[in-house]
Structure 1
Amino acid sequence: MHANTGQAGVATPVRHQPVRAAAAAFFGTMIEWYDFYCYATAAALVFGDVFFATRDPFMGTLASLGTFAIGFFARPVGALVFGHLGDKVGRKRSLIITLMLMGVATTLIGLLPSYHSVGVVAAVLLVVLRLLQGVAVGGEWGGAVLIAAEHAPPKWRTFLASAPQYGSPIGLILATGVFRMVSDLPKEDFLSWGWRLPFLVSGVLVLIAFLIRRGVDESPEMEARLRDTRRTQVAPLGLVLRERKRALLLGIGLCLLGISGFYFVTTLMITYTTTYLKITRSQILDVITWAGVVELISFPIASWLATRFGERRFLVWVTALATLWSVPMMMLILTGDIGNIAIGILGAIFLIGAYYAVLAPYLPRAFPVEMRYTGISLSFQLCGAIFGGTTPLVGLWVANHYGLNWPPMALMFAIIGGVNFLCAVYLPTEERDAALGRQAAPMATQPAGR
């Protein structure tokens, strides 16, 4: 219920909708990530043949993964545009636009003609739609996290603010599950029309998510901010760069494992195992589908542990474990046995999922409400632009250069986890600001750990 003016012109408080807001954040994010994972899977398995016809399979795959990376470069644009909109006029409006933009772009990808039909025009259109996908995702995550976190009571904030994170594994399960069904088609049918079906399903899912999301009220904390006549006219980006630069830089590093690490063990490993270890598409897609299930198991466990021991302390623990797991993970994968590959990937996914669940409630603590959407969106999406889309490309180069040796790939994953560990230790938050006598971000919280 929106705020309204009662007797004597006094504004009545906005009613919190913790469960409804969390559900809307989850369903909308689920559809957005379903769309995104459809593209990631198709880039690894299909687009090299459909849009970048070449006699060299390596170059075709490299070009296809290049379009995957392009979407990450568009994410900061979405973070700026929708972060500004969300901090100035409200979270809800921004989130509805991002949802519709992502759904339209994904559906149109499923209708694109191939390179064999229209030549290079097909690749150009794919890149344009991929850019639109990137812009939409750039604005989605921050708003979904905030509308859940700012509606949640302090006691349940760590759990409810992680609701958008559940959308990622569910979207992954849906996307890889649908691709798993069509991957058994004859190769000619799969390359001709089978791969398009997962993209076309997006149109229906977007309508469902839109109906759910439009029923949620604006964040109460944001409503109070919009009614404040003393609020600054400085753009949110200006506030972040002027007052929270250190938080932004460390926030980028704090998102590293959830973006770069995740695409290392999913998109890169799909390409790595099918190209170099000769694992079939169906086998590795089965493993990646289970990755979503493992994440769903890790999320509530992580939320409980973070509530019990503190969010910062938990993030330090789990990123340290992820760094240490890099060596056994790659040794298991290099055996070429699908069971060992599953253990290596799913072990990493459990740690990444546990970290990812707590990232959502923890990162907003670093930014005040008037710049929070912009601050956390830029942190997350700049990390994606710099490291996420390039991770499969760098990993493919490492594999092509060093061959079937585990140390280079293990070192790459260890660096990702190690940097994230340091940023979890040093990220400035409202609790640390308060301890140092600085102005804290006005978000009601429980102790985040030290």
Structure 2
Amino acid sequence: MKSTPLTVTSSNEPAAAPVSLDAAQTRKIVLAAYIGTALEWYDFFLFGTVAAIVFAPLFFPGDVPAMSIMGAFLSFGVGFAARPLGAVVFGHIGDKYGRRSALVITVMMMGLATTLIGFLPTYATAGVVAPILLTILRAVQGIAAGGEWGGATLLAIEYAPPKKRGLYAAIVQLGSPTGTLLSSGAVALAASLPGNAFLEWAWRVPFVISIVLVGVALWLRWKVEETPAFQQLASENKTEKMPVLELFRQVPGRLLLGIATYLYCNAGFFIITAFMISYVTRTLKLPGHVILTALTCGAIMQMVTLVVSGKLADRIGSTQTVIIGYVITLLLAFPMFWLVDTREPMYINLAMVLGLGLATVAYAPIGNVLTRLFPPHLHYSGLGLSANLSGLIAGFMPALATWFLMLSDGQSWGPALLLSLIAAISLIATLATLYVTRHQPD
């Protein structure tokens, strides 16, 4: 097949010399980034999917159901507290030694931690040791996740032709709804077993099979070549000895913008998924399969929206597309909860199609937006810390949304208000990002 020249450029420096790459090979690399990300997010999302249904009663039992759920969600949040550490560690590895090395390590860590969760004893068997071990393994998941998104996004963007960066970034983002589909589908299948099989043993199966998935992801990551952009930085001796420290020294203001811009993509998502599972099953007293089915519908719509949004970003600009997405999220926050409050499965499905689908417009090209905020030699650290410091806040959103629900006396306007506030913060930050990067090519 004929090779086409691919210009590897950065957001802050002149274009590098063209690198000749086979178009089919480039697509395979982006596909490998997507599949590896999807399998890694399957592991990470699996915890949130079963937090309220399984971990609350089995690992955090108590006389007050709301406190039991909050205990499970706090353990869930530990994974997000650990993500900035992963962003620092793997940002250092990715900016100094290469994207490929970091991505191979992250997928191994994530897969092993998830598999071990499937073998943990419960509180009834091991007492307080059980939630401690669960929380430790969740922290390991968080460290791995902290190094995943930035590296996978860079892998796609740094191989992408300049006019397809929005679409290629969106393809990697497809890993999130794919992970949602895989995790919610696996849990729904296990939950469909008769009697108490799900709580007794079947919940473990989706975790244990992660060992197979990690083998696939590791094989894909191992075959990927280092990106031409990083090879050029290394050959010109432009890599930093301590990239994370340089990030705080050179562009701390842009890092704050990156955190706020990405906030809804993290925080909003886990209110719509992890908290919503708890809200539907515990507050509305509906069967778990109702919300799991709705989340599956939403994830399917999310995949469609991501592709459309990625193509839109290549036409009108990535930052402009993110702004449109956040306006949509702001408008949908309350209507989504109103639909769920009907207790009708059809309307709950529609709520998740809106919440996870149409409100995902911003998520597709946001990696390209954040890349433009940082100099090339700090890309991995910049993307990783922007996503994961916002994730540090987002990880506690299900618990915070539960608190807002209690403040609103069990009425959905509490968590809906929280969701609106988060969307407003990210919208304002993206408008500021548009101003800061206005002289840079999209």
Q: What TM-score results when the alignment is normalised by the length of structure 1?
A: 0.91
Does the 8 A contact of 1:52 with 1:64 survive in 2? yes
Instruction: Give the aligned partner of residue 370 of structure 1.
Output: 377
Taking the aligned partners of 2:369 and 2:271, their CA distance within structure 1 comes to: 23
- The structural deviation recorded for 1:345 is 2.6
SS at match of 2:223: coil
Taking the aligned partners of 1:287 and 1:298, their CA distance within structure 2 comes to: 16
The question of 1:397 aligning with 2:384 is answered no
Alignment of 1:16-35 (within 5 A): 17-35=25-43
| CA distance 1:224–1:429, shift in 2 (3 Å) | farther
Taking the aligned partners of 1:313 and 1:369, their CA distance within structure 2 comes to: 22
Instruction: Give the aligned partner of residue 422 of structure 1.
Output: 428
- The structural deviation recorded for 1:391 is 0.9
Taking the aligned partners of 2:157 and 2:138, their CA distance within structure 1 comes to: 29
Alignment of 1:72-111 (within 5 A): 72-111=80-119
Give the one of 359, 367, 373 matched to 2:366. Answer: 359
Taking the aligned partners of 1:114 and 1:405, their CA distance within structure 2 comes to: 32
- The structural deviation recorded for 1:381 is 0.2
Instruction: Give the aligned partner of residue 146 of structure 1.
Output: 154
| CA distance 1:152–1:12, shift in 2 (3 Å) | closer
- The structural deviation recorded for 1:430 is 8.1
Work out the percentage of aligned pairs sharing the same amino acid: 37
- The structural deviation recorded for 1:319 is 0.5
Does the 8 A contact of 2:167 with 2:313 survive in 1? no
- The structural deviation recorded for 1:23 is 1.1
- The structural deviation recorded for 1:116 is 1.1
Q: What TM-score results when the alignment is normalised by the length of structure 2?
A: 0.92
Structure 1 residues not aligned, in runs of 5+: 1-10, 441-446
- The structural deviation recorded for 1:15 is 4.4
Instruction: Give the aligned partner of residue 415 of structure 2.
Output: 409
Does the 8 A contact of 1:257 with 1:352 survive in 2? no
How large is the RMSD of aligned CA atoms in angstroms?
Answer: 1.9
- The structural deviation recorded for 1:106 is 0.2
Structure 1 outlier segments of 4+, above 6 Å: none
Instruction: Give the aligned partner of residue 7 of structure 1.
Output: none
Does the 8 A contact of 1:162 with 1:361 survive in 2? no
Instruction: Give the aligned partner of residue 44 of structure 1.
Output: 52
Taking the aligned partners of 2:51 and 2:420, their CA distance within structure 1 comes to: 25
| CA distance 1:232–1:38, shift in 2 (3 Å) | closer
Give the one of 294, 301, 304 matched to 1:297. Answer: 304
Amino acid at match of 1:248: L
Q: Deviations over 1:266-324 (max 9, x none)?
A: 11111011111111101111001112101111011101211111111111112112101
| CA distance 1:154–1:342, shift in 2 (3 Å) | same
Instruction: Give the aligned partner of residue 343 of structure 1.
Output: 350
- The structural deviation recorded for 1:402 is 1.6
SS at match of 1:185: coil
Give the one of 176, 191, 209 matched to 1:201. Answer: 209
Does the 8 A contact of 2:169 with 2:368 survive in 1? yes
Alignment of 1:119-268 (within 5 A): 119-229=127-237, 231=238, 233-268=240-275
Instruction: Give the aligned partner of residue 6 of structure 1.
Output: none
Instruction: Give the aligned partner of residue 281 of structure 2.
Output: 274
Amino acid at match of 2:80: F
Please identify, of 320-329 and 259-268, the stretch whose mean Cα deviation from structure 2 is larger.
Answer: 320-329
Taking the aligned partners of 1:84 and 1:429, their CA distance within structure 2 comes to: 29
SS at match of 2:34: helix
Give the aligned length.
425
- The structural deviation recorded for 1:243 is 1.7
SS at match of 1:53: coil
- The structural deviation recorded for 1:57 is 2.0
Amino acid at match of 1:209: A
Give the one of 329, 333, 337 matched to 1:330. Answer: 337
SS at match of 2:225: coil
Instruction: Give the aligned partner of residue 383 of structure 1.
Output: 390
